[in-house]
Chain A
Amino acid sequence: MSKKVVYERIGNINKLIHEPSRLLIVSILSGVKEADFTFLLRMSGLTRGNLSVHLSKLEEAGYVNVNKRFVNKIPNTVYNLTKEGRKAFANYLKNMEEIIKGKKKEKEKEKGNEN
């Protein structure tokens, strides 16, 4: 993979998912079918406000589905990754792995040229 292709791939990284807090949230949601706000708060270690803002951004992008309901008369909000969200996350991971592979090949090529 040439340097040009590697840089193109870097440019194509999904910036919405790449943001560290959102990457963490999407990673957590990819490991479950659905989870509530308390679970996400506990697993991510983010503050309530921070988590809320990032979930809203992901919901706006269509990556996360929000389902508000009542459990024993207590409001409970449950989140899950949509089909688009899972696809976007899978593509993000695939892209990152390709970048790592490409960079590794470039490094080996440079080492070979030096020798």
Chain B
Amino acid sequence: MSAEKNNINEVKKVIQDVRASWWEDGLIEVMSGGLFMFMAAWFALMEFIPDANLKKGLEIGFYAVLIIFAISSAWVKRHFKKKYIWPKTGYARPQMSRKSKIVFLLVFVLIILNMVLISLWQLYQSGTSNVELPGFFIILNSYREGFFIGSFVFLAYFAVYLSINKKRFLITGILGLCSGIIAASILTIFNLDYSRMIVATILGIIGVYSLCTGIPRFLRFRRQL
């Protein structure tokens, strides 16, 4: 019986190693670290701009930038790998596990939900519509950005972890979630409705951690090629 069991376990290990090979160069960690740092800078900029309309424009622009990044990053990764990595390692198109795909879908659902909640909140605050919000929503608004950003980050990295079983992705995800919860708590304790600087700090921490894990991995990988 143990021979068959070893067989199956080895097959599962091979599949995981194959999926992990897409991430072994550290390129995606470097790119996501760069994205988080860019988002941190964007939020910090929003905090210091005095013009309210420009601030609102930048907030909407933030989501547009995220969508553009999501679409273009796949092309950038592919182009870079095609030129520098695949000639040495061979080419493979990755396949995510079903569990990972479901978790990624959940991330998109949460992003859309967050955008709807932001819109409702802004309508409510403007006082120009008859939008009525339940009491808990008003209390939760302080938690919203911190919790949602933390959740996005956790779920995205968790989806990768489910596919390839590498602990560093789970650690980054947990770091993101903890940062989000801590930020949300700070917002509530100091009675700040929404502090962009706190969100910028969360994103900055995750960005720095991603870059610190991604860059050495990328350099090590390049040396090995």
Contacts and interface: CB of A to CB of B under 8 A. Distances in A.
Given A27-B14, A43-B21, A38 B8 contact: no
Interface centre among B5, B16, B18, B92 (most CB of A within 10 A): B92
A66 interface: no
B19 interface: yes
A4 interface: no
Given A24-B14, A93-B11, A36 B92 contact: yes
Q: How large is the interface on A (under 10, 10 to 19, 20 to 34, 35 or more residues)?
A: 20 to 34
Contact of B90 (A23, A33, A40, A103): A40
Contacts of A97: 8
Main secondary structure of the interface of B (DSSP, over half): helix
Given A27-B11, A31-B19, A96 B4 contact: yes
Given A100-B4, A103-B4, A31 B93 contact: no
Interface in B137-182: none
Contact of A39 (B7, B17, B91): B91
B19 to A, nearest CB: 5
Contact of B1 (A28, A32, A39, A104): A104
B17 A43 contact: yes
A15 interface: no
Interface residues of B, number: 22
B89 interface: yes
A97 B14 CA distance: 17
A84 B86 CA distance: 28
A30 B93 CA distance: 11
B122 interface: no
Interface string A9-30: 0000000000000011001101
Main secondary structure of the interface of A (DSSP, over half): helix
B216 interface: no
Interface in B51-100: 82, 86, 89-95
B90 A41 contact: yes
16 contacts: A23-B7, A23-B11, A24-B14, A27-B11, A31-B18, A32-B92, A37-B90, A38-B91, A39-B21, A39-B90, A42-B89, A43-B17, A43-B21, A71-B82, A97-B8, A104-B1
Interface of A: 23-24, 27-28, 30-43, 71, 76, 78, 93, 96-97, 99-100, 103-104, 107
Given A23-B7, A103-B4, 19 more contacts: A23-B11, A24-B14, A27-B14, A28-B14, A30-B95, A31-B14, A31-B18, A31-B19, A32-B92, A32-B95, A33-B93, A35-B90, A37-B90, A38-B90, A39-B21, A39-B90, A39-B91, A100-B1, A107-B1
